[in-house]
């Protein structure tokens, strides 16, 4: 199935160029089976195949791959952000007592994030690191209702840096981009599992300390 998805995406790049990169990035951000690094690495390889590492070609990478892909990722992440925003409160209010967390805790976390000047920097860094799963960032920001303007700005900026790094890898390593993409995707999944485990351990310990908390 993954091979068919990859073939379809590559055909999309070839047929639609920059628009294809933009649209594929939106789809990639929403649909889980597609590795989150595939679009940028694959499109940079296909568009810049055989081109030497030079300033004019780096500008081509930025214009035809990094910018449209980053815009697509930012727009696509809004869908996941909206899920966290709309469903986070009802879920916490209904099931939070079983997890040892309340909506008041979420509101408190939101207040802490809103009062710290370096939160946008943290969001930027997390978005820029290829192995940090994008869905986890988007869901978390949606649940705590991160300021939408800052979310969009720093998601875009972080995605630009991430896109440039991945674009260079896809361009310079040629056909190895698929293997590299799959390895990074595996690391993203591992990080997501570790984050879920860490959250589960935190909630368990919290509940043990305060079993009456609802």
pLDDT tens-digit profile of 87-119?
Answer: 776 765 665 444 444 555 555 555 555 556 688
211, 213, 136, 81: CA torsion to nearest 10: 160
Task: Using alpha carbons, select from 80, 183, 77 the residue that is nearest to residue 131.
Answer: 183
End-to-end CA distance of the chain: 44
Rounded Cα–Cα distance for residues 34 and 30 (Å): 9
Rg (CA), the chain: 19
Neighbouring C-beta atoms of residue 100, cutoff 10 Å: 19
Pair 165, 37: CB distance under 8 Å: no
Q: Which of 72-81, 115-124, 133-142 has the lowest mean pLDDT?
A: 115-124
Confidence class for position 182, pLDDT limits 50, 70, 90: low
Burial class (CB in 10 A: 0-12, 13-18, 19+), 90: exposed
pLDDT, residue 89, reads 65
- Contact (CB, 8 A) for 37 and 130: yes
- DSSP code of residue 62: I
Per-residue pLDDT averaged across 29-56, rounded? 78
Q: Could you count the other beta carbons within 10 Å of the beta carbon of residue 105?
A: 15
Secondary structure letter of residue 144 according to DSSP? T
In this structure, are residues 45 and 175 in contact, taking their beta carbons and an 8 Å threshold? yes
CA 119 to chain centre: 17
- For the entire predicted model, the pTM comes to 0.72
Question: What is the spatial distance between Cα 138 and Cα 147, in angstroms, rounded to a whole number?
Answer: 12
Are the C-beta atoms of 158 and 125 separated by less than 8 Å? Answer: yes
Query: What is the rounded average pLDDT for all residues in the chain?
Result: 75
pLDDT tens-place string over residues 138-168:
888 888 888 899 999 999 999 999 999 988 8
Mean pLDDT of the region 121-148: 86
The upper half-sphere exposure of residue 9, i.e. CA atoms within 13 Å in the direction of its Cβ, equals: 30
Q: How confident is the model at residue 63, as a pLDDT?
A: 93
- What pLDDT shows up at residue 16? 77
pLDDT above 80: residue 205? no
Taking 90 as the threshold, does the pLDDT of residue 200 lie above it? no
Q: What would the mean pLDDT of 176-181 be, rounded to a whole number? A: 58
Contact in structure between 184 and 28 (CB atoms under 8 Å): no
Percentage, residues of the chain above pLDDT 90: 20
Instruction: Please give the residue that has the higher pLDDT: either 6 or 69.
Output: 69
**pLDDT value of position 214:** 43
């Amino acid at each position: 199935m993954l091979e068919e998805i990859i073939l379809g995406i590559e055909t999309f790049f070839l047929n639609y160029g920059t628009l294809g990169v933009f649209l594929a990035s939106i789809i990639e951000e929403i649909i889980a089976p597609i590795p989150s690094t595939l679009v940028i690495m694959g499109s940079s390889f296909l568009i810049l195949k055989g081109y030497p590492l030079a300033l004019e070609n780096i500008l081509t990478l930025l214009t035809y791959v990094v910018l449209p892909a980053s815009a697509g990722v930012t727009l696509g992440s809004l869908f996941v952000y909206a899920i966290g925003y709309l469903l986070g409160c009802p879920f916490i209010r209904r099931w939070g007592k079983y997890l040892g967390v309340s909506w008041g805790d979420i509101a408190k976390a939101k207040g802490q994030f809103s009062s710290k000047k370096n939160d946008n920097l943290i969001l930027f860094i997390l978005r820029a690191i290829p192995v940090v799963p994008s869905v986890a960032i988007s869901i978390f920001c949606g649940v705590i209702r991160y300021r939408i303007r800052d979310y969009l700005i720093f998601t875009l900026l972080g995605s630009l840096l991430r896109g440039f790094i991945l674009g260079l890898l896809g361009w310079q390593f040629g056909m190895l981009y698929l293997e590299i993409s799959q390895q990074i995707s595996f690391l993203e999944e591992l990080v997501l599992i570790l984050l879920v485990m860490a959250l589960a351990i935190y909630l368990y310990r919290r509940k043990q300390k305060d079993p009456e908390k609802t």
